[in-house]
Structure 1
Amino acid sequence: MDVLDLARTQFAVTGGLHFLFVMLTLGLAPLVAIMHTRHVMTGAPVHERMTRFWGQVYVINYALGIATGLVMEFQFGMGWSGLSHYAGDVFGAPLAIETLGAFFLESTFLGLWIFGWHRLPRWLHLACIWMVTLTAYLSAFWIMAANAFLQNPAGAVERGGRLVLTDVGALLTNPMLTAALPHVIGAGLWAGGFVMMGAGAYRLFTGTDDREFFSRSLRTGVVTALVGSLVTVGFGYAQLAPVLEFQPGKFQGSPLAGIGLGFMVLIGQILQLALMFVLAPTVYWLPRWRWAHPILMLITPLPFLAAILGWLAREVGRQPWLIHGRLTVADAMSPGLTSGMVTASLVAFTGVLGLLAVVDYALIVRTVRRGPDAVALGAFGPVESAGHVPVSAH
């Protein structure tokens, strides 16, 4: 492989690993917020336990996913300085807004939610997790806006050898964005639902004293995955019109892009048919059917695989352009890079990010195995000391 192929491989590997974390974040955030809402409104202990348990899974995935996202940011400057020079004024704007206006807010509200148990008033505490969800989706919007610009550089013109933003509205209503964003959000819900379903099936199959808790988790996962599948598949097909308009040869020019699209559609359609005609109609009885639980566990990773194949089709099909019709991948690569330099960083990044993915999986599995009674999130009571009264007591 030459240095260009190595650089492309590096970004593809790190981007793919990072997206695995993103999918679960987008899928679990609204589910945890809904569980917390039910707890606040009803006061039922089961809803508090579900909020804390699945909230801890969310926090584990979020914390480890941060490091993978930082690697992505560094690569733009290290490996693709040509992109920054030519289109940084346009492409960098949504990335900067995502980092400063969405990611930092998301982290702040998540911190308040994590440490606010038994300290903040319950409605304020609830508002924190909904703000986490809102800002997570805002992050997805800005990232997808930046990616859509690479697919179709709307709202920008070239002046003095560089792209200049002339129409913010066109950038934010890019046809390559409007259908792709709901498609990604639906995929996140699909993945989050399958994780809940698979975890519930695992605990019910291996034996648990908390059958009601994991039966609820399994059923919630199936229903969430059904909703996510309908959104994903519907907006997946809705993307075909803008793709055919702006990139008519997207899936013919690369055998690889076509293969990725084909397998993504195959996995998605099979899973959706299974959800619609097998799992959803029998969701009430599924927790009792021990023979079905290994099948549910085996299919849990499939939405993640389908998502990676979808990104492969979206990105590879744009080649040889980094910004379609404006900047090639070769021209975007940083000058002076050697095969040895890129290989070394590829091995390092893959090793670190791969390790983070393994640790994420191991910690989530350990949390599932230990069950809701061993969860640390929100387990401590109000902080009471001489002269101090917990905020929630006011």
Structure 2
Amino acid sequence: MDVVELSRLQFAVTTSIHWLFTVLTLGLVPLVAVVHTRAALARTPEKRELFERMARFWGQLYVINYALGIVTGLVMEFQFGLNWSGLSKYAGNVFGAPLALETMIAFFAESTFLGLWIFGWGRLRRGVHAALIWLVALTAYASAYWIMVANGFMQNPVGHEVRGGTAYLTDFGALLSNPNTLVALGHIASAALVAGGLFMAGVSAYHFIRRTRHTAFFRGSLRLGVATAALASLPLYPFGEAQLKEFAEQQPVKAALFDGALDRASRAALEAAGGHAPPEWLWIPAKVMVDLGWVLSVAPLVALVLLPRDLLVRFRPTAWAMVALVPLPFAASVCGWLFREIGRQPWLVYGELTVAEAVSDVSPAAVLVSLVLFSTVLGALAVADWVLIARSAHRGPEGVRLGAPEPEPAPWEDAVPEWLDSGPDGRSTAATARRGT
């Protein structure tokens, strides 16, 4: 493999792994904010305690995913300079601003609000504390928006002009309102909320299978998760259809591949005319994405119908079905990302800058070494993330450490024995200190 293929493979691996963290982050944080708000507004101590325990439990799972996901995001950001310096030279004046804003929001604003929320339990007023997690959710989606502004420019370059082989931003409003950006963000937000809702519902169903004694806790979580997934599934398909219409106008070859109209004769004619056709195997992730999308659009609605009287978890097959749904949104999201990105090859900035022109002037051996190292580290982080999340989810509310009160000192630490606290004259040093003598 040459340096171009190795660099593409490295970016695909690191971005796919990072995306798994991102989907759960975007999908889970609004649900944590909802339960924390219900705790802040609860009128009875019993309700307040229940919703606070829910916020701490689901918040702990969110924090685990966020902490490990930040590291994968750093690796992904570094690759723009390490592997794709040609992109910075050509489109840095346009591409750099959204990435800088995303970095400031994610690594400064979002992390700051999250830190205040983590350490604010028992220290801040209830309303202020609940507002912090909403600010975390808001900045998380703002961060996603700026990433999609950058990606939307690569898919559909707008709001710029090229002078001397370099792109210069001329219309910031056009960049922000790029149809490719807005439609993709709607699709991603819907998919993330479906993923977060099914994750919450699946973990809750698992505890019902284990005959949990925390029935009110997981019944409330199950209902919130199913309702969120059901509502988010409604715009999921329309946003996907809107993206295909955008592709039909902006990237007709990609749209033809999706519709099955790019047969071998069309592919040969396109390549003979000097064009480029996406790889033939790309129809596989496209089909997987669509098939899983139908499942994810219908299953939450069916689960919503079965919620009354706990019918969804009263029968073990339906409860296990909810658990089995948990990984499907993540698989569909990765397949969708593969189709979106690989389908526009060989262009990095569609119609203007090719991948070969954007790759850095480094040796294949150097990229291979970084590919192995990055893949190993990020793969280990992904495994660690899911192991830690699975363990915390398995333990249930008893294993929550987020927001837990400080442990009481042991009885033998409360008081010092008088024989140990006496001075040379036999008098208590503590009593002497109190008298100031």
With the shorter chain as reference, the TM-score category is over 0.9
Contact 1:118 1:382 in 2 (8 A): no
Deviation at 1:172, TM superposition (A): 0.4
Shift of 1:27: 0.5
Partner of 1:67: 71
Match of 1:232 among 229, 236, 251: 236
Tell me, in whole angstroms, the C-alpha distance in 2 between the residues paired with 1:15 and 1:315: 11
SS at match of 2:162: strand
- Show the 5 A alignment for 1:305-324: 305-324=331-350
Amino acid at match of 2:332: A
Q: Deviations over 1:18-68 (max 9, x none)?
A: 000000010011111111110000151211111010011110000000000
C-alpha displacement of 1:242? 1.5
Instruction: Tell me if 1:27 matches 2:51.
Output: no
Other-structure match for 2:330: 304
Among 125, 131, 136, the residue aligned to 2:129: 125
> Among residues 174, 177, 180, which one is paired with 2:181 in the alignment?
177
1:265 equivalent among 290, 305, 308: 290
Aligned counterparts of 2:107 and 2:227: Cα–Cα separation in 1: 29
DSSP 3-state at the match of 1:229: helix
For residue 155 of structure 1, what is the amino acid of its counterpart? G
| Larger Cα-atom Rg | 2
User: Which residue of 2 is the match for residue 339 of structure 1?
Assistant: 364
Question: Is 97-106 or 190-199 further displaced after alignment?
Answer: 97-106
Q: Does 282-291 or 373-382 show the bigger shift? A: 373-382
Letter in 1 for 2:174: A
Structure 2: which 5+ runs fail to align? Answer: 263-276, 409-437
Structure 2 residue matching 1:157: 3-state secondary structure: strand
Amino acid at match of 1:20: L
Query: Distance between the aligned counterparts of 2:227 and 2:304, measured in 1?
Result: 7
Change (3 A) 1:63 1:279: same
Aligned to 1:2: 2
Q: How far apart in 2 are the matches of 1:362 and 1:228?
A: 27
Structure 1 residue 357, shift from structure 2 partner: 0.8
CA displacement at 1:274 relative to structure 2: 2.4
- Equivalent residues of 1:256, 1:313 under 8 A apart: no
Q: Offset at 1:73?
A: 0.8
How many Å separate the matches in 2 of 1:90 and 1:296?
44
- The equivalent of 1:189 in structure 2 is 193
Structure 1 unaligned residues grouped into runs of 5+: 384-394
Listed one character per residue, the Cα deviations across residues 249-298 of structure 1 (whole Å, up to 9, x for unaligned) are 1134322333222210111112312222x212112221222232222222
Partner of 1:387: none
**Pairing 1:358-369 to 2, within 5 Å after superposition:** 358-369=383-394
Matching of residues 103-142 of structure 1 within 5 Å: 103-142=107-146
> Is the contact between residue 348 and residue 358 of structure 2 (CA under 8 Å) also seen in structure 1?
yes
* Count, aligned residues: 381
Q: Is the 8 A contact 2:194 2:296 kept in 1?
A: no
What is the aligned counterpart of 1:327 among 338, 353, 362? 353
Q: Deviation of residue 382 (structure 1)?
A: 12
CA distance in 2, matches of 1:2, 1:94: 30
Q: Which segments of structure 1 move beyond 6 Å, counting only runs of 4 or more?
A: none
Q: In structure 2, what residue type is equivalent to 1:297?
A: V
- The SS at the match of 1:371 is helix
Contact 1:151 1:324 in 2 (8 A): yes
Q: What is the percentage of aligned positions where both structures have the same residue?
A: 55
Matched, 1:295 2:299: no
Question: Structure 1 residues 367, 162: closer, same or farther in 2, change over 3 A?
Answer: same
Alignment partners' CA distance in 1, 2:296 and 2:204: 18
Give yes or no for contact 2:236–2:297 (8 Å, CA) kept in 1. no
Secondary structure, counterpart of 2:348 in structure 1: strand
Q: Distance in 1 between matches of 2:182 and 2:283?
A: 22
Residue 405 of structure 2 corresponds to 380
Structure 1 residue 3, shift from structure 2 partner? 2.0
Contact 2:347 2:354 in 1 (8 A): yes
CA contact (8 A) 2:206 2:320 kept: yes
TM-score, length-scaled by structure 1? 0.94
Query: 2:60 corresponds to which residue?
Result: 56
Match of 2:307 among 273, 283, 291: 283
**Structure 1 position 18 matched with structure 2 position 22:** no
**Residue 388 of structure 1 corresponds to which residue in structure 2?**
none
Deviations 1:283-342 (A, max 9, x none): 22212222322222222101000000000010001100000000000000001x222211
Shift of 1:75: 0.5
- Indicate the larger mover: 339-348 or 136-145: 339-348
TM-score computed with the length of structure 2 as normaliser: 0.85
Q: Deviations over 1:181-226 (max 9, x none)?
A: 0110111101111111111121111232212222222222211111
Deviates more, 1:174-183 or 1:279-288: 279-288
Cα displacement string for residues 151-197 of structure 1 (whole angstroms, at most 9, x for unaligned residues): 01100110121000000011001111121101101111011111111
Name the residue aligned to 2:216.
212
The alignment status of 1:40 with 2:78, answered yes or no, reads no
Deviation at 1:125, TM superposition (A): 1.0
Q: Which amino acid aligns with 2:372?
A: V
1:352 corresponds in structure 2 to: 377
